[in-house]
Amino acid sequence: MKAEAIQQLQSDGLLLLRGIMDAGWLAELRAAVARQLEAEGENAGSEFRKEEHAHRLANLVDKGEVFRRVICHPELLQGVEAVLGEDFKLGSLNFRSADPQSDSAQPLHCDMGMVPDERGNSVCNSIWLLDDFTEENGATRYVPGSHMWGKLPQDAGVDTRAPYPGERLVLGRAGNVILMNAHLWHGGTANRTAAPRRSLHAFFVRGDLPQQQYQKRLLGAETQAGLSPELRRILALDDPRNDELSALGSGRSGFLR
């Protein structure tokens, strides 16, 4: 990743990475998502939560190698390190599809309801576009620079459902990835089209904080046995801090796309 791109991520709080998924990988991911949604049926997303006007899948690291490729992409990891520093781990890997013709708009929020602390940034998110993000189908809006304000939008006296002065909309093609300092004020907009708007969310946390979904407990024995050393590091499976941290806050409630 070029220095100018990292500078943009650090100043604006968001960066669009173009062409991360080629046509073959994109098709594999779409097919894997469709199979998983059909297989899980009404239970889809139950490891995390269900959401009105959207379909979800959770714990995707455990559900196929095609998903595991997402969390070890070199450019993604470089961007996450630029936000969180060297000590980071995966918090969760989920899927979200905003339903067609639905009120799927989200309020402006910071992921996990967190602001930077005395150690700095603690959360970083990435949105993997399985469909184009357009003005009509629920693309993400964000307020540039708001990750440095040290406050949550709901605590700042703003109407989180209304447009915010200076906000921008992230438009991108399927295969792109949105990399975001997750302290940034942001939210999905309403899908006003006749088709779903699909995306994956690879969410990372600083190493001294609980994972959003405790990977060691969620991943099956067969999956864990087949993981490379790099994936074990990213998932923090051998990090002695994680067992205690999971009891303190794994699954913490807070808005997370």
Position 250 confidence tier, pLDDT thresholds 50, 70, 90: very low
What is the spatial distance between Cα 176 and Cα 17, in angstroms, rounded to a whole number?
6
Decide if pLDDT at 248 tops 70.
no
pLDDT digits (tens, 9 = 90+) for 172-212: 999 999 999 999 999 999 999 999 999 999 999 999 999 99
Decide if pLDDT at 47 tops 50.
yes
For the chain, the domains span 3-249
Decide if pLDDT at 257 tops 50.
no
* Crossing angle of the two packed helices 3-12 and 74-84, in degrees rounded to 10: 50
Decide if pLDDT at 254 tops 60.
no
pLDDT attached to residue 242: 85
pLDDT digits (tens, 9 = 90+) for 122-157: 999 999 999 999 999 999 999 999 999 999 999 999
As assigned by CATH, the class of the 3-249 domain is mainly beta
